[in-house]
Amino acid sequence: MPLDARELGRRLRERDRSAAPAVLNLIEDRSAAARGRAAALLAELSPAALGGEAPAHLVGITGPPGAGKSSLLSALVPTWRGAGRTVAVLAVDPSSKRSGGSLLGDRVRIEHDPKDDGILIRSTATGGRLGGLAAPTREAAHALAAAFDVVVVETVGVGQSETDVEEVCDTVAVVVQPGSGDTLQFLKAGIMEVPDVLVVTKADLGDVAERARRDLAQALTSLGAGSVPVVAASSVAPVSGIEELAAALDAHRDRIDVPATRLRARRLMALGDFVAEHGEVALRALGGRREAERFLCTLDPGLQAPALVSALRERASRERAPTS
Confidence (pLDDT) at 254: 96
pLDDT at 14 > cutoff 80: yes
CB atoms within 10 A of CB 39: 17
Q: What element of type H or E holds 153?
A: strand 150-154
Mean pLDDT of 184-193: 63
pLDDT in tens, 232-284: 998 887 889 999 999 999 999 999 999 999 999 889 888 988 998 888 888 99
If pLDDT is split at 50, 70 and 90, which confidence band does 109 have? low
pLDDT at 70 > cutoff 80: yes
Exposure string for 243-252, b = 16+ CB within 10 A, e = fewer: eebbebbbeb
pLDDT in tens, 131-177: 457 788 889 999 999 999 999 999 876 554 456 788 889 999 988 88
Mean pLDDT score of the chain:
84
Closest CA to 74 of 146, 154, 139, 137: 154
Q: What percent of the chain has pLDDT over 90?
A: 44
Range with top average pLDDT, 13-22, 59-68, 86-95, 259-268: 13-22
169 vs 177: CA distance, rounded Å: 22
CB atoms within 10 A of CB 117: 11
296 vs 324: CA distance, rounded Å: 27
CB atoms within 10 A of CB 132: 20
23 vs 11: CA distance, rounded Å: 10
Q: How far is CA 282 from CA 24, 291, 295, in A?
A: 30, 12, 14
Confidence (pLDDT) at 324: 46
